Structure 1
Amino acid sequence: MSLDQATVRRVAALARLHVEEADVVRLQGELNGILGWIEQLQEVDVTGVEPMAGGGASALRWRADAVTDGGMAEKVLANAPDREGEYFGVPKVVE
């Protein structure tokens, strides 16, 4: 696959990127190089290779959907520069 200059301009517009006309040719070469690498990767034979992540038998561990305070206020506030009870102490903003 090869991109022409009009496609590079369209991709830049869709990505909301301002590209100078002088840079379009350079970006065209870079994007075509990236697409060339992707085409090479698609040619690799991966039959029998298990996915490393995101599929197969892997699943996320479920937890209860409950609101908690975390149960570790002392750890969280251990390095606080100023604290007031179980809260961070902050300077007064409004007078």
Structure 2
Amino acid sequence: MDHETRLKRLRYRAWHRGTKEADLMIGGFFDVHHADWTAAELDWFEALLEEQDVDIMAWAIGVQPCPDRWTGPMMERMRSITYVPVSR
């Protein structure tokens, strides 16, 4: 599949997780960071989307230990949580 189609598919999957919280965290992360991702980082994110939302969110906020396969620069960026919009 070409790059643009892959990005569209990943964006849809990131924003349609099943709960508003997961949509904001995972979809927001995609929107803010995807433009700079390498092919390997796209692979990482695509594989991460196969995990359960509650696990992804728990790893990102640090309430569960993150498995080694997800630990690294991408998870560190996800842990910053600065990409989640907050109304004030």
TM-score range for the pair, normalised by the shorter chain length = under 0.3
Per residue, is there more helix in 1 or in 2?
A: 2
Larger Rg: 1
More RCO (CA 8 Å, sep 6+) = 2
TM-score normalised by structure 1 residue count: 0.21
Structure with greater strand percent = 1
